């Protein structure tokens, strides 16, 4: 069954409610809604030969979110087998990070008080993917152009953003020269890397159940960029 976003879903993340435990039950319902969407996306991705693990973020104030739930997240990352492979390659010292489901390159749906967002994100600590992508596109003009082609093929509205920098690189018109400059400033281990698409609250409410399809098709459209980004210890 397709999930529908409701007005109350967004209200739970307004600033004055972010630390209010009375809204935990409502946030839990949003968490389950987003998790259902990524679960369905994972099943569809399997049909394309991509194995993904579905996870969901915290819905209640806690130490990990500084006791404030600013947004609700659910995401897809490497499957357990692929994460164990990374952990085995890095060994005991780094293996815990490599096997952790959120320290990865993820496909994520996120909801706050204003927007629903579908995104690919490379976690700062997932430096193995970040370094792999950076070296690939900066080391070979043909691979940079391949990456640009993948970005241009995304549905309208996606932008590439480095960390919290203000500059947006709109994927539909991205240029290799602009990305070269951006990647020269990108430091895996310190910076997030985002490829994201936003649906304003008003549009999400008006779309009804079609908003569910908007999220799923957005995440599935990111699969080629996701696969291009991932590093494989076997060199594949």
Pick from 181, 199, 202, 183: nearest CA to 191: 183
Q: What is the pTM of this model?
A: 0.95
Query: What per-residue confidence (pLDDT) applies to 236?
Result: 52
pLDDT tens readout for residues 83-127: 999 999 999 877 888 999 999 999 999 999 999 999 999 999 999
Domain architecture of the chain: domains with CATH: 7-229 (3.30.930.20)
User: For residue range 14-56, what is the model confidence (pLDDT) as tens digits?
Assistant: 999 999 999 999 999 999 999 999 999 999 999 999 999 999 9
The answer to whether residues 212 and 4 touch, using CB atoms and an 8 Å cutoff, is: yes
Token duo for residue 63: 């130490």
Q: What is the model's pLDDT at position 196? A: 98
- What are residue 222's phi and psi, to 5 degrees? -80, -10
- pLDDT, one tens digit per residue, over 139-194 is 999 999 999 999 999 999 999 999 999 999 999 999 999 999 999 999 999 999 99
pLDDT at 2: 86
Tens-place pLDDT, residues 58-93? 888 887 778 788 999 999 999 999 999 999 999 987
Instruction: Determine the pLDDT at residue 200.
Output: 98
Q: Is the pLDDT of residue 223 over 60?
A: yes
The rounded distance, in Å, linking the Cα atoms of 26 and 96 is 33
pLDDT (tens digit, 9 = 90+) per residue, 191-217? 999 999 999 999 999 999 999 999 999
Q: Residue 133's pLDDT is what? A: 98
CA 229 from centroid of its chain's CA atoms: 12
């Amino acid at each position: 069954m397709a999930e529908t976003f409701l007005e109350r879903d967004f209200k739970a993340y307004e600033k004055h409610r972010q630390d209010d435990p009375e809204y935990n039950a409502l946030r839990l319902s949003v968490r389950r809604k987003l998790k259902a969407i990524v679960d369905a996306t994972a099943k569809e991705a399997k049909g394309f030969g991509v194995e993904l693990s579905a996870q969901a973020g915290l819905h209640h104030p806690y130490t990990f979110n500084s006791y404030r739930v600013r947004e609700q997240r659910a995401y897809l990352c490497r499957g357990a087998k692929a994460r164990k492979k990374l952990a085995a390659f890095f060994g005991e010292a780094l293996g815990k990070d490599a096997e952790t489901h959120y320290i990865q390159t993820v496909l994520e749906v996120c909801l706050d008080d204003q927007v629903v967002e579908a995104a690919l994100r490379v976690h700062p600590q997932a430096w193995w993917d970040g370094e792999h992508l950076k070296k690939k596109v900066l080391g070979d003009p043909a691979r940079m152009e391949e990456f640009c082609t993948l970005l241009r093929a995304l549905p309208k509205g996606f932008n590439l953003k480095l960390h919290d920098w203000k500059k947006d690189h709109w994927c539909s018109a991205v240029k290799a020269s602009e990305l070269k400059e951006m990647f020269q400033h990108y430091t895996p281990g310190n910076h997030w890397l985002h490829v994201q698409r936003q649906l304003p609250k008003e549009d999400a409410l008006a779309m009804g159940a079609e908003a569910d399809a908007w999220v799923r098709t957005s995440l599935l459209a990111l699969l080629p960029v996701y696969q291009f980004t991932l590093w494989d210890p076997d060199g594949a």
